[in-house]
């Protein structure tokens, strides 16, 4: 409550300052003397709206975000300009600057915020040296439709070296360049990070090679009020951060029925596996651990097969693709790992019913992170598609960078 009260107090103080300033200006009309020492009468001084021209007009409603906020005087000079934006119960100043000639003021940010109320207060001198003041307000367009981005990985996660930043949008994006410009992914230590679009609702980011262990990555979503499709505007203005842990890459040799587990280049273990049977081979290529489940149900009908299997308690399951490829514990074919490929496309490690911590599957699960890389070689199947899970590492750098919408 302390923090919420503090924010409310600061917002109230800012609004009070605006109202006080507006009150002072109300007494500073051209009709008589006021606190700023303006004299004269309507007969010898022009009206404030003739001296100070503000666009959008005072009282305007549903102003579009691409309409420019401009403050001008035809002669003389601007003395003071204060612009305040009220949005989502927050009051904050709008930064801008008076031009070198003193005749114009422009905001630093060209686009107006949506669903906001703007208050403009201006003091200026006309060409004859008469001081005038003007107070205006306008409100901006409130959109009916919004879109958001679902971000992978989770905020503050510690991930493996192969993590790809993936944004899945709630609506199809037609202005992909505008959305791409609004998202910034940076790393410390610095590394080049490039985007790639998969269709109209997914935008992924990665470096050319796996992340170095210890890298801190920041994803800045400046999507609020960005028009991603006609009449559909972004809702988010948030930051997601994650840290890259150790670098673990495991290579599954489907022909040898073995998996080599390497961490930071050092071989930790060689583990017996079973891969996809000849009728259902495992994808080749580099896959990234997307999720880790202590136990899960696997039903063949959910991945496009018939009723071949329905196992309610598959232990130590690590999701590798959207199409249903997992690396998991296998207790129902204990002789297969190391000798034969019998699965429907998954990679199985020896385990016991309920999952055991001292089994190969339990050992590997306990030493894995979301974002670790599992690479399959020598399988009699095609390479996994780059958009099937976090499969973007299967695309070379030239093709990856060509997937940007910003040329």
Give the active site residues: 328, 346
Instruction: Say which residue the tokens 């699965």 belong to.
Output: 343
What's the CA gap between 116 and 69, in Å, rounded?
13
Which distant-in-sequence residues (6+ apart) come within 8 Å of 10 by Cβ? none
In angstroms, the CA 104 to CA 77 distance is: 8
How far is it, in rounded angstroms, from Cα 128 to Cα 347? 84
**Residue 323: count of CB within 10 angstroms of its CB:** 13
Cβ(65)–Cβ(116) below 8 Å? no
How many Å apart are CA 169 and CA 87, to the nearest integer? Answer: 24
Which residue in this structure is represented by tokens 């999701």? 319
Which sign does the torsion angle of CA 166, 167, 170, 172 carry? negative
Phi first, then psi: what are they for 267, rounded to 5°?
-70, 120
**d(Cα 69, Cα 341) in Å, to the nearest integer?**
67
Cα–Cα distance measured from residue 401 to residue 277, given in angstroms and rounded to the nearest whole number: 36
Burial of 304 (0-12, 13-18, 19+ CB in 10 A): exposed
């Amino acid at each position: 409550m302390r923090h919420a009260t503090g924010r409310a107090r600061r917002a109230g103080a800012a609004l009070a300052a605006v109202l006080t300033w507006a009150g002072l200006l109300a007494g500073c009309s051209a009709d008589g003397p006021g606190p700023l020492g303006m004299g004269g009468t309507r007969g010898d001084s022009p009206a404030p709206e003739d001296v100070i021209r503000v666009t959008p007009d005072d009282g305007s409603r549903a102003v579009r975000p691409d309409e420019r906020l401009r403050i001008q005087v035809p002669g003389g000079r601007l003395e003071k300009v204060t612009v305040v934006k009220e949005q989502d119960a927050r009051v904050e100043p709008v930064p801008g600057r008076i031009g070198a000639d003193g005749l114009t003021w422009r905001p630093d940010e060209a686009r107006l915020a949506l669903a906001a109320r703007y208050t403009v207060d201006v003091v200026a001198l006309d060409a004859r040296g008469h001081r005038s003041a003007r107070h205006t307000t306008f409100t901006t367009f409130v959109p009916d439709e919004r879109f958001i981005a679902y971000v992978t990985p989770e905020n503050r996660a510690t991930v493996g070296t192969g993590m790809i930043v993936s944004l899945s949008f709630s609506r199809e994006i037609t202005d992909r360049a505008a959305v791409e410009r609004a998202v910034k992914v940076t790393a410390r230590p610095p590394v080049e990070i490039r985007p790639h679009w998969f269709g109209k609702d997914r935008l992924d980011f990665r470096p050319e090679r796996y992340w170095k262990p210890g890298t801190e990555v920041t994803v800045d979503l400046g999507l609020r009020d960005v028009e991603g499709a006609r009449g559909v505007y972004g809702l988010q203005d948030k930051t997601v951060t994650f840290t890259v842990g150790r670098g673990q890459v495991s290579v599954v040799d489907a022909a040898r029925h073995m998996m080599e587990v390497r961490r930071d280049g050092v071989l930790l273990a060689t583990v017996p596996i079973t891969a996809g049977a000849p009728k259902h081979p495992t994808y080749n290529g580099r896959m990234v651990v997307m999720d880790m489940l202590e136990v899960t149900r696997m039903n063949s009908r959910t991945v496009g097969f018939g009723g071949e299997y329905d196992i309610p308690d598959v232990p130590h399951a690590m999701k590798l693709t959207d199409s249903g490829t997992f690396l998991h514990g296998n207790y129902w074919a204990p002789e297969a790992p190391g000798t034969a490929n019998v699965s429907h496309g998954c990679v199985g490690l020896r385990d016991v019913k309920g999952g055991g911590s001292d089994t190969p599957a339990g050992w590997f699960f306990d030493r894995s992170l979301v974002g670790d890389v599992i690479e399959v070689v020598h399988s009699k199947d095609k390479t996994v598609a780059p958009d099937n899970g976090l499969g973007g590492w299967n695309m070379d750098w030239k093709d990856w960078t060509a997937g940007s919408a910003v040329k």
